[in-house]
Amino acid sequence: MMERDETVVILGEDVGFYGGNYRVTEGLYAKYGEKRVIDTPIAENSIVGNAIGMALGGLRPVAEIMTVNFILIAMDQIVNQMAKLRYMSGGKIELPMVVRTPQGVSKQLAAQHSQSLERFFTSVPGLITMVASDATAAYYGLKKAIELDDPVIFLEHELLYPMKMEIQKRESFDPFRADIVKEGKDITVVSYLKMLHDTLKAVPVIEKELDVSVEVINLHSLNPLDMETIANSVKKTKRFVIVTEEPKTGSFAAEVVSKVSEELFYHLDAPPLRICGEDVPTPYNRKLELLSIPTPEKIAQQIVYWGREHGI
C-alpha cells in the first residue's frame, strides 16, 4: 500500500525507528522515511487528532495506538470528530483513516492493560469496526481498511502476533463477509480474534460429547455485521452461540444475540448462548486471570452443558 500510494502514512508511539511495540511496522521507517512513518509523543488524543487532520488534508493515515487500553484518552476525537465529520458535513467530507490497535488479555498485564473494547466502537454510528483473527484477515483486511474513504477502527489481539499463520491468497477478500471456517449442521458458533482459535480447539470435545457437528463462523467486521452469513447458518443448525473475550454485561456479544433473537427467533430450537469474559477487572494473578476469560476447556464445558439442558 505504501509503495503504490504515497498518501498512506503511519503515525504512533514507537512505530518508526523502533518498528512498533509488537514489531508490526518493522522496516517501514528505513524504507519510507520519517515523513511517512512518524514517531509521536505519548499523546493518544493528539495521535488521532493529527490523523484526522491528515485525512482532511488528503492523506490516508494509519494511526497506531499501542494498545486499546490507551485509546480511551482519544475517545473524544474518535467519537465526536472521526465518526461524525462525514455526516455533519452533509457527506462533503471524506475521512480515509484507520486507527489500528491490539486488545485483549495477554499474560499478566493486569486490569488496565487487558481490556477488550469492541463494545464501545461498534456502538458509535459512523465508525467501521474490523477485526483480524488470522494473517489473511490482517493482510487483506488492513489493505481494504486503508482503501476505504470512511474511518475504520482495526482491532487485533496481542496473543495472535506470535502465532505462526499462513496468508491465503485471496485477492477478492471481502472483510464485510464472514468466513465459515468449519462447516457443521447442528450448532452455529460465531467468534473472532483469539476466541476464534480457542473455539476451534473446543470443537472436537463438543462434537464428541454431544454427538453433533458444529459450524464455526469467523467475523472480519463487527460493524457492519454480516447477518446474512449468520442467518443462513442458524436457519440450518437452529442453535446459536457466540464466544467473545470481553466482559459479558453490555457486550458486543449481547448485541449480536439481540439481532439473532429479533430476526431469527422462530428458527431457533434453543435460546442463544453467550460465552464471554467475567464482569470483573482482569486480575494480575495468572490463575485468576484465566478464570476471568473463556478458555478452550470452558468453552467446551459451557456449550456441552447448554446443549444437554436444551435437548441436544
Kindly report, residue by residue over 43-79, the tens digit of the pLDDT: 999 999 999 999 999 999 999 999 999 999 999 999 9
Which one from 113, 157, 197, 220 is the annotated catalytic residue? 113
Q: Give the per-residue pLDDT at 116.
A: 98
- Give 110's pLDDT tier (boundaries 50, 70, 90): very high
Q: Give the per-residue pLDDT at 4.
A: 94
pTM over 0.75: yes
Q: Give the per-residue pLDDT at 202.
A: 98
Q: Give the per-residue pLDDT at 187.
A: 98
Q: Residues 212-234: what's their mean pLDDT? A: 98
Q: Give the per-residue pLDDT at 27.
A: 96
- Give 158's pLDDT tier (boundaries 50, 70, 90): very high
Per residue in 171-208, pLDDT tens? 899 999 999 999 999 999 999 999 999 999 999 999 99
Per residue in 276-296, pLDDT tens? 999 999 999 999 999 999 999
Q: Residues 212-216: what's their mean pLDDT? A: 98
Q: Residues 145-158: what's their mean pLDDT? A: 98
Residue 44 is a catalytic residue: yes
Which one from 13, 44, 64, 156 is the annotated catalytic residue? 44
| Whether the Cβ atoms of residue 123 and residue 76 lie closer than 8 Å to each other | no
Q: Given its phi and psi angles, is residue 61 left (phi above 0), alpha (psi -120 to 50 degrees) or beta? A: beta
Q: Residues 130-140: what's their mean pLDDT? A: 97
Query: What's the mean pLDDT when you consider all of the chain?
Result: 97
Q: Give the per-residue pLDDT at 132.
A: 98
Q: Give the per-residue pLDDT at 61.
A: 98
Task: Enumerate long-range contacts of 20-23, CB under 8 Å, 24 or more apart.
Answer: 20/64, 21/66, 21/67, 22/102, 22/158, 22/161, 23/161
Per residue in 1-54, pLDDT tens? 899 999 999 999 999 999 998 999 999 999 999 999 999 999 999 999 999 999
- CA 90 distance to own-chain centroid: 29
> Concatenated DSSP letters for 48-86?
HHHHHHHHHTT-EEEEEPSSGGGGGGGHHIIIIIITTHH
Q: Give the per-residue pLDDT at 186.
A: 98
Burial class (CB in 10 A: 0-12, 13-18, 19+), 122: buried
Residue 113 is a catalytic residue: yes
Q: Residues 236-250: what's their mean pLDDT? A: 98
Q: Give the per-residue pLDDT at 30.
A: 96
Q: Give the per-residue pLDDT at 199.
A: 98
- CA 68 distance to own-chain centroid: 11
